[in-house]
Each structure stands twice: as C-alpha cells, then as structure tokens.
Amino acid sequence: MSDVPELESRYHMQMFRRMPVTLVRGEGTRVWDDTGKEYLDFVAGIAVDTLGHAHPGLADVISKQARTLIHVSNIFYSEPQVELAKLLVENSALDQVFFVNSGAEANEGAIKLARKWGINNRNGAYEIIATNNGFHGRTLATVAATGTARYREPFGPQLPGFTFVDYGDLEALKAATNERTCAVLIEPVQGEGGVNVPPDGYLKAIRQWCDEQGILLILDEVQTGCGRTGTLWAYEQAGVEPDIMTLAKGLGGGVPVGAVLAKNHAAVFEPGDHGSTFGGNPLATAAALYVMQQVIDGGVTKNSQERGEQLARHFASFEDRFESVAGHRGQGLLRALVFHEDVAGEIVGKALQAGLILNAVRPNAVRFMPPLTVTQEEIDRAASILEAVIADVTG
Ligand code: PLP
C-alpha cells in the first residue's frame, strides 16, 4: 500500500469516508489501483464517467481544446459554449441555458432564477417545496433545499424559504402550497436518497398542480439526466416537461460542468443577475459537447437502457434465489439492490475485495451506476461477482 492514505490523513481535511483504495488509472469500465489490482467500476465517479475512463475521443477533444483555448471570461463569446447550448436546447423541452461548474451550483442558479421569477410574476413569492430524502448539493442554499437534516443542521441559521414533503405524497405537496410558493424542486428519481422511483403518475400530477397554481416545476436531473436513466432526460419517462432543469455529473463525462436550462417564460435573468468565472468555459463545454453528442447520437442512451434492463434481470434472479434480497429499483443504469437487513456496507466491502466497485446508498441498499458504455459482458461479470458476495455475506 502506498503512503497516500497517510499523507491524506495529515494534509487533507477529514471530510470523506474513503474506500481503502487509491485509484490511479482507468480504461472503459475498468480501473486499477496503485498496487496494479483491477476493478470493474460500477460507481463511475457517482454517475459521472458517462463514456467510461480514458475515453480516447473525449481525451482527444480535451487535449485539442487545451492546446487551442482553455479559458476565456464570459465577457466574451465562446464557440464551444454556444454549440453546447444549441445541442442541449435542440434536444430538450427547454429553451435557454447557462453553464456552471457543479450540481450544487446548477441548483443554486435554479433557486435564484425561481425566486426572481416569483418576485416578478407572483407577488414576491419565494418559497420552494422540496422533498424529504431529496439531495440538491452542499452549498448553503442547496443544503437548505435538501431534505436531510444532518446535511443542514451543523451550519447555523439556514436560508429560509424551503418546505419539505414526503417524496411520492401528492396531497402533502398540495397542502404545502400557498401564496408564497414559487416552485417545486424535485428529482425525477431520488439518487442519493436511495434510488427512489416515484409512484406512477406522481410527476405528471405535480406538473398539473404547478400549472393550476401558476408555480414553476424545477427538475433536478443532475444525477438522472444525460442518458443515465435510459432516456436522454428522466422527465421523458414521466411524460412531463419541467420549467427549469438542472444538470451536472454526467454532462462532462468527468470534466466539471453543470447547466441550468429553462423555458422562455422562466428564463428571467438579465445581465448582471448571475455569473461564474469558470462556468461554461471552452475546455468544459468542448468536453461536454463531445460527451453529449455521443449520448444523443452515438447509441450511448440506448446502451444505458438495454444494459440497465440486463442488470435488472440479474437482480430479479437474485431476488428469487436469495432470501436476503428484498427487491430492486431504478431506471436505466441508475439502480439499487435492496436487502432485508443492513448489509450494504459489508456487500460493498467484500465486492471491492473481489474487484467490483459499488456504493452503499442506504444501509440496506447497494447502488449501481456504471459508465453508460458498460458492455453486456461486464454486466454479466459484475453480476457473477456480486452473486458470490451475496452468498458469502448473507448465506
Ligand atoms: N443534485 C443531485 C440530484 C445530486 O445527486 C447531486 C450530487 O450527488 C447534486 C445535486 C450535487 O452535485 P455536486 O456534487 O456536483 O455539487
């Protein structure tokens, strides 16, 4: 083992519960640690490495752009930025976009946009209804919007203006709506909350309620967007269109970039309202443009759907064969295998030893989010490692 963990404990603030592995190299779905051990990566940077590791086409684009123009300020026009904006708008239900650097920042921007919209259009309405177990980021506004108290409470007075209701409970959402409400902020599938798929018709009913009340629907597609759930945007499967949508994670395939998209009526920012030094710089947007071309036209989204179904078939057979398996949930390549007992940590630890990287999203649920380019053979191999691990841990 290298001295990296020791150096980390001395020099890096202790804010992550890290797996006991230092990853140094990757190729496609595979990664290698500093001892040369190979793993199948079914975490992919938490749903980020859309095209897998060290994708040659993406590496070429990044390197070419780095040799051409890495960064210019947003006080100038930029070719990759407008090309990416055009691609996202032409392939979504939204009309305009601006770029940021992360999911939290995208949601910050969406919250500001919705509040300005409320001030302009709904007598100063500023409250946002979000959901328990939702996750929108770690900045002060996005933790205030995150329905998990432990992310918010250590940090003193919270930004006011957020109300929480249970995910899936339409009546609670209706009851929480008042004249101060400007928007609903929700994930189409809760990712960090445990890969929670809402009841059929839930998002459609929220859309209808927002229309009736004259409030905005903000979909946080930071985790679900960009092909992850087997369609380009998760909202397509729910049969709704948001007024505002946020993206990050898979958008840049590992290069930090996020986006806020809005319908024209919700795109109320004017020059000076918001900004970002790095947001949408040429390097990030050239990378995202390449990634999204592959996701949209390169068969990546179809692979996400087909490999997701393949994974779900393995899960169904585990459910039949292991009493410890309670079920599975998810869409595309965002899935969770659920156990009756809190064994997720042990399953993930043993899988790591066996060369498969997974994530314990809940004490009783293991999350799977491999690159969207994962192959049929890799899904089968991961399932066979997992099967042995489940047998070992739960008998
Ligand atoms: N929104 C959702 C749905 C997420 O899953 C995450 C991260 O997990 C975020 C926002 C925050 O993104 P970031 O970590 O890039 O700030």
Say whether pLDDT at 368 is over 90: yes
Q: Radius of gyration (Cα) for the chain, nearest Å?
A: 21
- According to DSSP, residue 159 is labeled P
Distances, alpha carbon 95 to alpha carbons 4, 110, 358, in Å: 46, 14, 37
Question: How far, in Å, CA of 227 to CA of 247, rounded?
Answer: 11
**E strand map for the chain:** 23-27, 30-33, 38-41, 96-100, 127-131, 162-165, 181-186, 216-220, 244-247, 258-262, 325-331, 334-339, 356-357, 359-362, 365-368
Å from CA of 248 to ligand 1 middle: 7
Bridge partners of residue 372, in order along the sequence: none
Question: How far, in Å, CA of 369 to CA of 228, rounded?
Answer: 8
Determine if ligand 1 sits within 6 Å of the CB of residue 136. yes
Å from CA of 105 to ligand 1 middle: 9
Say whether pLDDT at 2 is over 80: no
Amino acid at 194: G
Pairwise pLDDT comparison (150 vs 390), residue with the higher score? 390
Cα–chain-centroid distance for residue 197?
14
Amino acid at 46: I
What pLDDT sits at residue 260?
Answer: 98
Determine if ligand 1 sits within 6 Å of the CB of residue 191. yes
Q: Which among 102, 135, 196, 278 is the best mutation to test ligand 1's pocket, defined by most ligand atoms within 8 Å of the CB? A: 135
102 phi-psi bin (left φ>0, alpha ψ -120 to 50, beta other): beta
**pLDDT tens column, 160-174:** 999 999 999 999 999
Once rounded to an integer, what is the mean pLDDT over residues 331-335?
98
- Band the pLDDT of 153: cuts 50, 70, 90: confident
Å from CA of 142 to ligand 1 middle: 9
Of 23, 39, 29, nearest to 304 by C-alpha is 29
Say whether pLDDT at 275 is over 90: yes
User: What's the full length of the chain, in residues?
Assistant: 395
- Band the pLDDT of 105: cuts 50, 70, 90: very high
- Band the pLDDT of 216: cuts 50, 70, 90: very high
**Would you say 224 and 188 are in contact if contact means Cβ atoms under 8 Å apart?**
yes
Compute φ and ψ for 351, nearest 5 degrees: -65, -40
What pLDDT sits at residue 1?
Answer: 56
Return mean pLDDT, the chain.
Answer: 97
Determine if ligand 1 sits within 6 Å of the CB of residue 223. yes
Describe the crossing of helices 344-353 and 376-394 by its angle, rounded to 10 degrees.
120
- Band the pLDDT of 276: cuts 50, 70, 90: very high
Once rounded to an integer, what is the mean pLDDT over residues 106-131?
98
Domain with residues 78-297, CATH architecture: 3-Layer(aba) Sandwich (3.40)
**pLDDT tens column, 302-328:** 999 999 999 999 999 999 999 999 999
Taken in order 199, 201, 203, 205, the sign of the CA dihedral is negative
- Band the pLDDT of 152: cuts 50, 70, 90: confident
Q: Which residues make Cβ contacts (< 8 Å) with residue 335, sequence separation at least 6?
A: 195, 308, 311, 312, 315, 328, 329, 367, 368, 369
CA-CA-CA-CA dihedral for 110, 113, 114, 116, to nearest 10 = 160
**Would you say 215 and 184 are in contact if contact means Cβ atoms under 8 Å apart?**
yes
Å from CA of 216 to ligand 1 middle: 20
Determine if ligand 1 sits within 6 Å of the CB of residue 107. yes
Question: How far, in Å, CA of 128 to CA of 186, rounded?
Answer: 10
Determine if ligand 1 sits within 6 Å of the CB of residue 135. yes
Nearest-CA residue for ligand 1 atom 13 is: 103
Å from CA of 223 to ligand 1 middle: 7
What does pTM read for this prediction? Answer: 0.98
Ligand 1, closest atom to CA 104? 16
Query: What b-and-e string marks burial along 194-217, b requiring 16 or more CB atoms within 10 Å of the CB?
Result: bbbbbeeebbebbbebbeeeebbb
Q: DSSP 3-state assignment of 186?
A: strand
Determine if ligand 1 sits within 6 Å of the CB of residue 104. yes
Once rounded to an integer, what is the mean pLDDT over residues 119-139?
97
Amino acid at 115: R
354 exposed, middle or buried (CB, 10 Å; 0-12, 13-18, 19+)?
A: middle
Question: How far, in Å, CA of 381 to CA of 377, rounded?
Answer: 6
Of 286, 395, 285, 266, nearest to 341 by C-alpha is 395
Domains of the chain, by residue range, sit at 78-297
3-state helix, strand, coil in the chain (%, to 5): 40, 20, 40
- Band the pLDDT of 148: cuts 50, 70, 90: confident
Question: How far, in Å, CA of 183 to CA of 207, rounded?
Answer: 11
